[in-house]
Amino acid sequence: MSFEFLAPDATEPRDGASPSLRSPIEWAHRDAGASFGERDGWRVVESFGAPEEEAAVCRDAVGIADLSQLGKLELQAEPGEVASIVAELAGGAVLELGLAALHDGVWWCPVTAERVLAVTPPERTAALRERLSDAASGVALGSVTELTGAYGSNAVVGPLAREAFARTTALDLRPESFGERAFSPVSVGRTPGMILREGGDRFLHLFGSGYAQYMWTAFVDAAESLGGRAVGIEALDAAPGGEVEADA
């Protein structure tokens, strides 16, 4: 079973033009002085007018970036079938609860033994959705749901990222408790969310897209209180660290 009709990238052209895909709170970024660019069919915030300052806060404090363009695909099946499909598509990765796997740019995040969320670069979403759907079609009770538009996603980056999260969640994000590639469904700001530590001081926060403005405001306010700020993807590109070796 597949629910790819929910895919933002499946939007059909009208009058010969394809609409740009965009964040649900693009208007808020525009009001804050954002500069936009096109990447893989998405309008993204490249900067808020101060790219060097934004890169500096990612290095020295904490930056918050809207990454709505990331694909989110959920696979559901019996635990053994989920494990088999992920191993096939993720280079033999073996998932365990609480720990995500990275393969070929895609994060495989186990929500439960029966559910795994694949977080993809935008250019990989459509192809992976097709491969997942093909794999799930041969499995009893298997399904793939396109959740790119249903989930918002923000990067929280920098040495004070944990302090920003501490204002909204009780999850212990200290390195000894929440290590490299750690993943947890958790309440953030009293709403359901998920946190992935991609590596170093770089975290990905996933949440219902209906809470996008609330989460953006809460985290930017927290960042500013710590000497940080909202940043665009140019700052993330320049930020040191955050890399993690892909699973074999």
Residue 157's Cβ-side half-sphere holds a number of Cα atoms within 13 Å equal to 31
Nearest to 10 by CA among 66, 71, 67: 71
C-alpha dist (Å) from residue 27 to 22, 23, 74: 10, 9, 28
Q: 11-57, pLDDT tens digit by residue?
A: 666 777 777 799 999 999 999 999 999 988 899 999 999 999 999 99
Q: What is the spatial order of strands in the sheet that 42-47 belongs to?
A: 21-22, 42-47, 35-39
Task: Report the distance separating Cα 230 and Cα 210, nearest Å.
Answer: 20
H/E stretch holding 87 reads helix 79-89
Output the six-digit token pair for 125.
Answer: 């979403």
Q: 133-172, pLDDT tens digit by residue?
A: 999 998 888 999 999 999 999 999 999 999 999 999 999 9
What superfamily does domain 71-146 belong to in CATH? Heterotetrameric sarcosine oxidase (3.30.70.1520)
Query: Does 245 have pLDDT greater than 60?
Result: no
C-alpha dist (Å) from residue 168 to 83, 136, 155, 196, 204: 32, 36, 15, 15, 14
Query: Does 8 have pLDDT greater than 90?
Result: no
0.85 exceeded by the pTM?
yes
Give the mean model confidence (pLDDT) for residues 68-86: 96
Output the six-digit token pair for 159.
Answer: 């040495």
Split at pLDDT 50, 70, 90, the class of 241 is: low
CB 65 within 8 A of CB 157: yes
| pLDDT score at 181 | 96
Where does CATH 3.30.1360.120 sit in the chain?
A: 22-69+150-238
Task: Report the distance separating Cα 1 and Cα 245, nearest Å.
Answer: 33
Please tell us whether the domain made up of 22-69+150-238 is placed in CATH 3.30.1360.120.
yes
Q: 88-131, pLDDT tens digit by residue?
A: 999 999 999 999 999 999 999 999 999 999 999 999 999 999 99
Query: Does 4 have pLDDT greater than 90?
Result: no
H/E stretch holding 197 reads strand 191-199
C-alpha dist (Å) from residue 162 to 91, 156, 217: 31, 9, 17
Phi, psi of 95 (to 5 degrees): -85, 145
Phi, psi of 133 (to 5 degrees): -65, -40
Output the six-digit token pair for 19.
Answer: 């609409």
